[in-house]
Structure 1
Amino acid sequence: MNYATTITAETQDDIPTDVDAMRDPTQSSPVVKRLLIALGGLLVLLGAIAAYFAFAGGEPVAPGDDKTQAPVVTVISPGKTTIEGMVEAPGTLAARRPMPVGVVGEGGQVLSVRVDAGDWVQQGEVLAVIDRSVQTQQAAAQAAQIEVARADAQLAQANLDRSLQLVDRGFVSKADVDRLTATRDAAVARVRVAEAQLAELRARNARLNIVAPASGYVLERNVEPGQTVGGGTPALFVIARGGEMEMLAQVSEAQLAGLSTGVMATITPAGSEKSYEGQVWQLSPTIDAATRQGTARIALSYAPELRPGGFATARINSGSLQATVLPESAVLADDKGSYVYVVGAENKTERRSVTTGMATAEGIAITDGLNGNEMVVLRAGGFLNAGETVSPQKQER
């Protein structure tokens, strides 16, 4: 018996849609989508692992190796290095021995000013001239008084001489001689008083000139012709004796304790690439209670670029010292301070707090925290955690 099978449209609709998906690759079943998502996640994970090993300074190890789970890190055993100690400190420039020059005498009106700021002057050179017309007349009157006193003295001497010739004849008594002698002596004394008064007036007149007390470089001029000056007037000039300058370097209490007078320093004024050699000649005997800083005074020779009041930076030699020097990549820092990672027993990392010193061309000096024999992680310490097992790869210095 034959049977006929009829396939209707409804029966065709029941065919699984996977066949259509196979015919059209752009359409995927939920199973295929899940496979694709899983594959993408695996690729991302593999990329993250590769990046980890790249930053850690090593290469991924082959599967089956015992160290598959231990990242390879580059380590260094730094040892100890002799470095020249250097203290870098800011400060201001100033005249080493500034000399304010003011009115010494009674003062008066300034007739002329002969120098300006930036000039060199010699000791005794006249800087400004003050009107002395009245004082000149007073000196002339006093000179006339001397002549009057001398005339009186000469007359008294002549009277005494005549009396001495007549005393033997009895015409003049000895009492008269004594009186005439006293008159002569008083007249001579008046001459000396008048001469002293004239000398005083002339000295006062000489002090009306403003003169340089020593040779040096004029820093300030605070007077103009026509100005009236006196004993209470502020300094008319400021002179740097010998043109000598200095820098007042502000250093910390600990740095000041490590310095000594006589050491050399290099000074670089702000805004200039030129440096000048100086020498520490005085260390502050006190520490500022507010800033906890002291002053190192560095003597400098004259140079036009060294302007008092300007800012500068000093690099002061503080002697040589033995210290561990590490590249900057090995030294990390957080809110707890500076630290490095050290590979210890069983290749486990250990966080080690350190005290950093000056920066040199070779790296950063470590003054405390390391003895130099440790295996210090050179790079990628920021990706490690304390106690993590690593595979150290030593790099020779």
Structure 2
Amino acid sequence: MNYESRFTETGSEIDLLSDEERARRNRRWIIIAAAAALAVVALITIFALGGDKESGGAAAGDGAAKAVPVVTVMVPGRDVVDRVVSATGSLAARREMPVGVVGEGGMVARVLVEPGDWVGAGQVLATIERSVQAQQNAQLAAQINVARADARLAQAELERAQALVGRGFISKADIDRKTATRDAAVARVRVAEATLGENRARTGRLDIRAPAAGLVLTRAVEPGQVVGSGSGVLFRLAKGGEMELLAQLGEADLVTTPVGAKATVTPVGSSESFTGEVWQVSPVVDPQTRQGTARIALSYHKALRPGGFAAANIVRGSQEAPMLPESAVQSDEKGNFVYLVDKANKIVRRDIKVGEVTDKGVAVSEGLTGSERIVSSAGGFVNPDETVKPVLDKAAR
């Protein structure tokens, strides 16, 4: 039996239900909540399955894209490349002039130059004490005066004798004797003069002079030193201050290096380079080292010191050739090669012959025209006939 009572208390209303009706109502709400929960779970499952399918499709697409590798390619074109050979050698004076004692020698009185000084042709470098030679010159000068006096007397006697010939006081034979006496006196004057000139020349040779204008390289004499013909070299001069590099070249490079080739010379320890020219190529090759000498003429500069070591780059000519970065050139037992990308985007191996190697890259003398698409890097990760996706390197030509 159901009872329903309603009480009204302070404007509020309280419903009183039986236990059976309250239970049925609770069961209905539970069923509704369970159905809603199932619906939510079903929706979540549907969305999850759809997302997995999309992710799977994207992953499959990425896998397909990754299957074709991307490579960087370049079209090198053709550049003018200097054919350069590198060499090293010693610096020296192009024309070195050793200066020593020319005359009899003696004690050095003065030394007038130092290494590094510039001197003119005939300039005195050092003087030798000459007091004895000065006295000899004075003696010879006096002898000349005596000979001249004898010659004047002989001439006067001859003239007087010739005046008396017409009177018959002097015979013709006497005239001949007086003429001979006069001629002998004149000859003695000339001998005395020649002797004095010779002695003065000997005295002048006591001055050690520069044979030509140039730069003093070394000095091996001091005041007070006694020198003679066996004293050796006292000074070394570089004629005109001209220098040269004695560049050592291999036999093959020596043959292809022409006289007149331009060269750039850099002394060891210097960041400055100097321009020179090959003026002589050795006609012989050392049988031990298989090298010869190319002599590179250089103008004077204080950084060019004879005996120093220097490196040279000799330009033997120029040619047009494709220029590649070193990363593009590979090698194996067959030689040097590069990888190309053909019109079908497949990798093709191309054998090449490498020319000059410079700071700009590697010149290819044979095997390329310059219009090919060259794999510029990572060539070791691709194989011939492999399909790739080429990307042009904008930083390279």
Report TM bin, short chain: 0.7 to 0.9
Distance 1:110 1:175, change over 3 A: same
Deviation of residue 303 (structure 1)?
1.5
| Superposition pairs of residues 353-364 of structure 1, within 5 angstroms | 353-361=352-360, 363-364=361-362
Tell me the residue number matched to 2:155: 157
Q: 1:188 aligns with which of 181, 186, 189?
A: 186
Deviation of residue 273 (structure 1)?
1.1
Separation (CA, whole Å) in 2 of partners of 1:177 and 1:279: 76
Tell me the residue number matched to 2:201: 203
Tell me the residue number matched to 2:277: 279
Contact 2:355 2:364 in 1 (8 A): yes
Separation (CA, whole Å) in 2 of partners of 1:335 and 1:93: 41
Helix, strand or coil for the counterpart of 2:148? helix
Deviates more, 1:72-81 or 1:310-319: 72-81
Q: Say whether 1:102 aligns with 2:100.
A: yes
Question: Aligned letter for 2:310?
Answer: A
Separation (CA, whole Å) in 2 of partners of 1:228 and 1:336: 72
Contact 1:338 1:355 in 2 (8 A): yes
| Superposition pairs of residues 291-310 of structure 1, within 5 angstroms | 291-310=289-308
Tell me the residue number matched to 1:331: 329
Q: 1:247 aligns with which of 242, 245, 248?
A: 245
Tell me the residue number matched to 2:351: 352
Helix, strand or coil for the counterpart of 2:211? coil
Q: What are the Cα deviations for residues 252-291 of structure 1, in whole angstroms up to 9, with x where unaligned?
A: 4444444444444332211111222333333334444444
Deviation of residue 181 (structure 1)?
0.8
Deviation of residue 127 (structure 1)?
0.6
Separation (CA, whole Å) in 2 of partners of 1:120 and 1:348: 67
Separation (CA, whole Å) in 2 of partners of 1:383 and 1:102: 71
Distance 1:287 1:92, change over 3 A: same
Separation (CA, whole Å) in 2 of partners of 1:61 and 1:273: 57
Question: Aligned letter for 2:368?
Answer: L
Helix, strand or coil for the counterpart of 1:153? helix
Deviates more, 1:374-383 or 1:193-202: 374-383
Q: 1:133 aligns with which of 131, 151, 165?
A: 131
Contact 1:354 1:370 in 2 (8 A): no
Contact 1:121 1:212 in 2 (8 A): yes
Q: 2:218 aligns with which of 220, 223, 227?
A: 220
Deviation of residue 198 (structure 1)?
0.4
Distance 1:61 1:296, change over 3 A: farther
Tell me the residue number matched to 1:395: 392
Separation (CA, whole Å) in 2 of partners of 1:144 and 1:167: 35
Separation (CA, whole Å) in 2 of partners of 1:371 and 1:289: 40
Helix, strand or coil for the counterpart of 2:97? strand
Greater CA radius of gyration, 1 or 2? Answer: 2
Deviation of residue 342 (structure 1)?
4.7
Deviation of residue 128 (structure 1)?
0.5
Distance 1:256 1:143, change over 3 A: same
Contact 1:139 1:198 in 2 (8 A): yes
Distance 1:337 1:134, change over 3 A: farther
Question: Aligned letter for 1:360?
Answer: D
Contact 1:127 1:211 in 2 (8 A): yes
Q: 1:235 aligns with which of 214, 233, 236?
A: 233
Tell me the percent identity: 57
Separation (CA, whole Å) in 1 of partners of 2:103 and 2:258: 44
Helix, strand or coil for the counterpart of 2:322? strand
Deviation of residue 329 (structure 1)?
0.7
Question: Aligned letter for 1:395?
Answer: L
Separation (CA, whole Å) in 2 of partners of 1:189 and 1:235: 41
Tell me the residue number matched to 2:366: 368
Contact 1:349 1:390 in 2 (8 A): no
Tell me the residue number matched to 2:38: none
Structure 1 unaligned residues grouped into runs of 5+: 1-59
Deviation of residue 239 (structure 1)?
1.1
Question: Aligned letter for 1:359?
Answer: T
Helix, strand or coil for the counterpart of 1:317? strand
Separation (CA, whole Å) in 2 of partners of 1:141 and 1:152: 17
Deviates more, 1:76-85 or 1:212-221: 76-85
What TM-score results when the alignment is normalised by the length of structure 1? Answer: 0.74
Deviation of residue 63 (structure 1)?
4.5
Deviation of residue 203 (structure 1)?
0.6
Separation (CA, whole Å) in 1 of partners of 2:290 and 2:337: 26
Contact 2:347 2:382 in 1 (8 A): no
Separation (CA, whole Å) in 1 of partners of 2:333 and 2:127: 66
Contact 1:263 1:280 in 2 (8 A): yes
What TM-score results when the alignment is normalised by the length of structure 2? Answer: 0.74
How many equivalent pairs are there? 334
Give the CA RMSD over aligned residues: 2.9
